[in-house]
Chain A
Amino acid sequence: MSALGDGLGDGPADALGHGRGDGPADGLGDGAQAAGGSPLARGRILALAAPRLAALALGVASVAWAALPLSAAGWAALALTVAAASVAAGSLRLALLEVPVPQEAYFMGLPERTWYQFLSAIRTLAWEEIGCAALLWLEVLHPARAWHTAILGAALVAWLLAVHIAESGAAAAALLRRQARVLVLGAGLLALGAAAALLPGASSGGGAVALQVLAVIAVTAAVILVLPG
């Protein structure tokens, strides 16, 4: 574009050359260097891979923790299968986060088209939400074990945070520092919930009714607080 100013005086070749020599090369950021094919530093690869590996590890740990003791029959097997598939698919989605999907697939061959449809399917479904629901359902199918459930809850929150950090690229330390107080408070409530479950009469009678009312109020409050105006 700068070539236009000088174009007439310098002749066509000069005009084009002048245009090529200027700015854009200076203007590219880190992302541009990456797109240009320069090798990523090992630190950058680690920074990208670490949250994804953490998410995978936490997901697998949650599934394993909720599955114990293993039961291979009935609804438990189904819940376990759904949970494991969700964790696997979610991890795959995170691993393939940078693979672009072209807008037009009209001229593609069958293998390429299948691959991009697979990618789209992986990215469309909410695997983590399905996984959370399936893991809690699996936990409910087991006999009551308060501390076990509390640890599962902590693992699930950690898994969701790791997934979020991996997919958003947010700085993990800064994000966790900002939310530290709330997380600590949440961990306290988690422990209180487990402790309350150990109290006699918590699962039947008046205590159970009180807990149910409390749960309904909490759901309503959560919805009101979270939904944007």
Chain B
Amino acid sequence: MTQAPPVGAITREVPVRWRLSRHSRRLLTLAIAGLLLAVLSRRPELVGVAAPALLLLGAGGRRAGESRPPRVTVRISPEGARLFEGEPAWLDLAAGDLSDGYDLRWDFHPGKGIEPASAVTVTAGPAGAARFAFTVPRWGKRQAGTAELMLHDRWRLTEGRAVVTLPSLDVFPRPGIQDTLVTLSRLPNRLGEHAARTPGEGAEFAGLREYVPGDRQRQINWPASTRRGRLMVSTHPAERSQDVVLLVDATSDVGKPGTSALDYGLRGASAAARAYLERRDRVGVITYQWGGARWLAPSLGRRQVYKIIDTMLRADAGWSRGPSFARLPRAALPPGALVVAFSPLLDQRFVESLRDLRERGFSLVVVDVLNVSPPGPRLPVLGLPLSSRPAGRLAAGALGAAGGIDEIARRLWQMEQQAIRFSLRELGVPVLHWDGAEPLDLPLAPYSRRPLVVRR
């Protein structure tokens, strides 16, 4: 009875390349050396030295040659094709269609960015099965690597080698934490979960008014009616949903891998996507990068999270500069949408796009994910950063000309950054700083307590 392969398992037929094992090469060397020296030196006892090696080779080689499979079927069962960065994962390998006459060993050669979390060489268990655990520290599309199957015959005189290419993995950025939401004061006329300013049939209490004919009886607020001596009815706000567009700036990836601006941008955007989709908002994404923008139109539902993250995974802060553009795609930006941008604000074109968006009447919130600054000036001789010098020991003049220029450049850069943020605030765009470690609710708190007023 054959066992059904697990869901998601991939079966591949791989050619096996057979060759002599090191052991048989050694035996062959001993035999040939013994026989040659016997001939050259005319000493027959050296033929005897070659005899055991020749016997082993002959008997073992004949046995191994009887059933040497040219191909082997390998079943790869990854735990899944998608995982979050840093999350433990594993894949199971099994070799089928082999007789019992072979000892099997698996070697796992992880791809770039894959960190093995278990032994990479495993003697196969029953049915040639082995399991390799690994983690992927950083998001992206990764090749899992290759697995090498070594087959040894029982006498270990021949060995077969089969190499299997493992499937690629989609590694999602680890989402940040966000529970509270920024809500617009003016919401589109679509059923949702946010309390709007207009009266409606929502669950939240909005106020009281006098009863007028036509009001439903169940809306009468009896305690208030008793106190005031006339019929009062409770009013409720309408419940509406909003369109949210997440704008991720992938033009600059500054900082150490794992804690760079792009890492924080993607983690923040993932957190925001999940939070808004849980409240039944329509969420879309635009990834702004060199050479253009990738975007996904706003939509609802659980699958949208994965679509958004898939779109973001293609973000690449590469080196090539594509055609410049200032306006973001209209189709990705529904009128009246809330735009939440995650950016280090280092690219002037992106800042111009934000200004353009604001001028087009969109409500914007910018989450600043820049958490690094240029290093301070270095001491000319020691090469030490200025920040590491003993306080008060060195005067600024002792830095030398190069150090002084560094310091001035650094200050200019800081002033320029402050000016960018100031200009956005002047346009009515809140700029919040997020350090990537704390929940996003903290920087968003001033804007999530009450609706964000839409100014056109």
Please report A residues at the B interface, Cβ cutoff 8 Å.
1-4, 7-8, 11-13, 15-16, 19-20, 23-25, 27-32, 34-36, 126, 128-129, 132-133, 136-137, 139-140, 144, 146, 149-150, 152-154, 156-157, 160, 163-164, 167-170, 175, 178-179, 182-183, 185-187, 189-194, 196-197, 202-204, 207-208, 211-212, 214-216, 218-219, 221-223, 225-229
Contacts and interface: CB of A to CB of B under 8 A. Distances in A.
Contacts of B61: 225-226, 228
- 5 closest A-B pairs by beta carbon, nearest first, are A193-B48, A186-B52, A31-B119, A153-B49, A32-B118
Given A23-B90, A140-B43, A203-B42, A152 B49 contact: yes
B267 to A, nearest CB: 9
A191 B175 CA distance: 75
Contact of A160 (B23, B120, B121): B23
Contacts of A229: 65, 68
Nearest to A170: B156
Contacts, number: 278
B103 A222 contact: no
26 contacts: A11-B177, A12-B175, A15-B175, A20-B88, A27-B92, A28-B119, A29-B119, A29-B130, A29-B131, A31-B119, A128-B29, A129-B26, A146-B45, A149-B48, A149-B49, A175-B155, A189-B55, A190-B49, A193-B45, A193-B47, A193-B51, A218-B31, A219-B36, A222-B54, A225-B61, A228-B20
A199 to B, nearest CB: 8
A211 B44 contact: yes
Interface string B365-400: 000000000000000000000000000000000000
B42 A190 contact: no
Interface string B405-432: 0000000000000000000000000000
A178 B58 contact: no
B46 interface: yes
Contacts of A163: 23, 26
Nearest to B79: A1
A187 B155 CA distance: 18
Given A8-B274, A12-B176, A27-B133, A136 B31 contact: no
If over half of A's interface residues share one DSSP class (helix, strand or loop), that class is named, otherwise mixed; here it is helix
Contacts of A193: 44-49, 51
Contacts of A189: 48, 51-52, 55
Given A1-B83, A19-B87, A23-B79, A221 B58 contact: yes
Contact of A156 (B30, B60, B68): B30
B314 interface: no
Given A193-B48, A229-B65, A1 B80 contact: yes
Contacts of A32: 117-119, 133
Contacts of B90: 23-24, 27
B410 to A, nearest CB: 28
Contacts of B12: none
A157 B83 contact: no
Contacts of A152: 49
B59 A156 contact: no
B55 A211 contact: no
A156 to B, nearest CB: 6
Interface string B159-187: 00000000000001011111100000000
A29 B122 contact: yes
B273 to A, nearest CB: 10
Given A4-B82, A226-B57, 19 more contacts: A1-B87, A28-B117, A29-B125, A31-B118, A132-B29, A137-B33, A149-B48, A150-B48, A153-B50, A170-B152, A187-B52, A192-B51, A193-B51, A197-B45, A215-B50, A218-B47, A219-B35, A225-B57, A226-B28
A45 to B, nearest CB: 17
Contacts of B40: 140
A208 B45 CA distance: 12
Contacts of A160: 23, 26-27, 30, 53
Contacts of B50: 153, 215, 218
Interface in B108-158: 116-123, 125, 130-131, 133, 152, 154-158
